[in-house]
């Protein structure tokens, strides 16, 4: 996503090379590299060594990236949508029409690109088709300000998982998956990145993008909110599942008519471990066998607790990246360059994985490091020499062309005092 920033505002928040907020690009690069980590698997991490400590550290990094990187990616998409449509002052009139046209083009192209990448056969749940759908769902929200967007994000986080549980329970067991997305039901409820969960990330990001991200007070509030949400999501889930016995309720649901209290205590610990392992291997939503599943906060569980924790983590990462980019712009330039062409980097890594037949099950130490270093070198050199990433440039040109057609074919619309035209990069 390009970042469109009003001409008004603090220059300190902008990258000197063209008006981008460098910290957002750095955060976006971390999100993409987090997805690299998940797609290439634990065995691709070699930097920690091959001993027991190294294996444990690699597993911890992989676990940290799972779920949170895709959530951060969607969250930052929401931030970019807000920046494209006026930042703290939502666009009106003709300017809003042009922005909507650009976003619509992006949505359609991303959806098609996602379907094409799915056909490569790479063992990856491609997010781009979902991503395009999220943009379409966000179109009616572009005129809203931060409080309304925050309220919508909270409502989706609370109600979305419950409605998903009820609807999926009524639908019965889903069929096998043969691709990243199999239709509208997958997009909304049963896919890897269902809108019932991920629109909370997008809308929360839009709310954040409507704030003055250069202001220290705003950053402090975002950091404190992020810490609180992370504690609520992950801490609240742990409290419900372990001290308050939720894991035993889930185990009882698995045992059915067998009374857990009558089970040999020696056997309960491994049975609980089996349940915990299953909870850590979800793929977009929880089972509908017990309401206690909604207390889970593991990656890709799609519960309100996971949403709260992932949004909290995204806020902390965003604030940390903005502070770091302000303090050390030059050292972080390769990361910012990679984040500025996230679509190119994301697409490229899937094509390489498909072409070389890589899998997340491979044991190939330093493969992840090679992918990350290669992406950083490519992005830094490309941006220094040619500017915008190749796919970003093509997508931007297509969006501009459609926006020009929309403007030419529509009568002038009063901007409603929305201010001067927006600078775009």
In tens digits, what is the pLDDT along the chain, a chain of 425 residues? Answer: 445 433 333 333 343 333 579 999 999 999 999 999 999 999 999 999 989 999 999 999 999 999 999 999 999 999 999 999 999 999 999 999 999 999 999 999 999 999 999 999 999 999 999 999 999 999 999 999 999 999 999 999 999 999 999 999 999 877 788 899 999 999 999 999 999 999 999 999 999 999 999 999 999 999 999 999 999 999 999 999 999 999 989 988 887 767 776 676 777 788 888 899 999 999 999 999 999 999 999 999 999 999 999 999 999 999 999 999 999 999 999 999 999 999 999 999 999 999 999 999 999 999 999 999 999 999 999 999 999 999 999 999 999 999 888 877 766 655 444 444 443 33
For 321, phi and psi rounded to 5 degrees? Answer: -70, -40
Q: Is the dihedral of CA 100, 406, 115, 341 positive or negative?
A: negative
Directed axis angle between helix 128-138 and helix 195-209, to 10°?
60
Long-range contact list for 287-290, CB < 8 A, 24+ apart?
Answer: 288/165, 288/168, 288/169, 289/253, 289/254, 290/249, 290/250, 290/253
Q: Supply the pLDDT for residue 10.
A: 38
Question: Interior CA angle at 236 toward 230 and 237, to 5°?
Answer: 100
**Residue 226: which residues within 8 A CB-CB, separation 6 or more?**
311, 312, 313, 314, 315, 316, 319
Distances from the Cα of 26 to the Cαs of 15, 71, 233, 333, in angstroms?
A: 11, 15, 25, 8
145/152 Cα distance (integer angstroms): 11
DSSP string, 355-422: HHT--TT---TTHHHHHHHHHHHHHHHHHHHH-S-HHHHHHHHHHHHHHHHHHHHS------S--SPP
Longest dimension (CA), the chain: 76
User: Tokens for 295?
Assistant: 């207390």
Does pTM surpass 0.85? yes
């Amino acid at each position: 996503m390009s970042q469109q920033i009003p001409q008004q505002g603090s220059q300190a928040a902008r990258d000197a090379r063209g008006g981008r907020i460098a910290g957002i690009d750095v955060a976006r690069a971390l999100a993409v590299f987090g997805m690299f980590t998940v797609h290439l698997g634990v065995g691709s991490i070699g930097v920690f060594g091959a001993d027991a400590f190294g294996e444990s550290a690699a597993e911890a990094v992989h676990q940290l990236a799972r779920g949170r990187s895709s959530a951060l990616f969607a969250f930052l998409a929401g931030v970019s949508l807000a920046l494209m449509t006026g930042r703290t002052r939502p666009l009106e009139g003709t300017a809003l029409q042009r922005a909507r046209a650009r976003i619509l083009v992006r949505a359609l192209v991303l959806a098609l690109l996602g379907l094409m990448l799915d056909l490569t056969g790479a063992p990856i749940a491609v997010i781009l088709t979902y991503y395009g759908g999220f943009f379409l769902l966000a179109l009616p929200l572009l005129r809203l300000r931060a409080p309304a967007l925050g309220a919508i994000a909270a409502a989706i986080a609370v109600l979305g998982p419950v409605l998903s549980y009820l609807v999926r329970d009524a639908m019965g067991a889903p069929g096998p998956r043969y691709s990243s997305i199999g239709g509208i039901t997958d997009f909304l409820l049963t896919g890897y990145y269902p809108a019932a969960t991920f629109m909370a990330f997008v809308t929360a990001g839009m709310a954040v993008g409507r704030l003055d991200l250069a202001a220290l007070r705003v950053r402090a509030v975002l950091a404190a909110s992020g810490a609180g949400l992370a504690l609520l999501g992950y801490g609240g889930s742990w409290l419900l599942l372990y001290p308050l016995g939720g894991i035993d309720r889930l185990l009882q649901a698995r045992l059915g008519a067998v009374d857990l209290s009558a089970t040999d205590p020696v056997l309960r610990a491994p049975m609980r471990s089996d349940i915990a392992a299953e909870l850590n291997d979800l793929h977009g939503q929880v089972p509908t066998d017990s309401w206690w599943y909604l207390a889970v906060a593991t990656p890709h569980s799609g519960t309100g607790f996971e949403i709260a924790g992932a949004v909290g983590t995204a806020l902390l990462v965003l604030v940390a990246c903005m502070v770091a980019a302000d303090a050390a712009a030059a050292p972080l330039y390769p990361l910012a360059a990679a984040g500025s062409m996230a679509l190119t980097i994301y697409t490229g890594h899937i094509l390489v994985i498909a072409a070389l037949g890589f899998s997340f099950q491979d044991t190939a130490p330093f493969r992840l490091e090679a992918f990350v270093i290669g992406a950083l070198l490519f992005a830094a050199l490309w941006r220094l020499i040619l500017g915008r990433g190749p796919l970003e440039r093509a997508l931007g040109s297509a969006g501009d062309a459609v926006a020009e057609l929309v403007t030419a074919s529509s009568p002038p619309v009063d901007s409603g005092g929305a201010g001067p035209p927006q600078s775009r990069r």
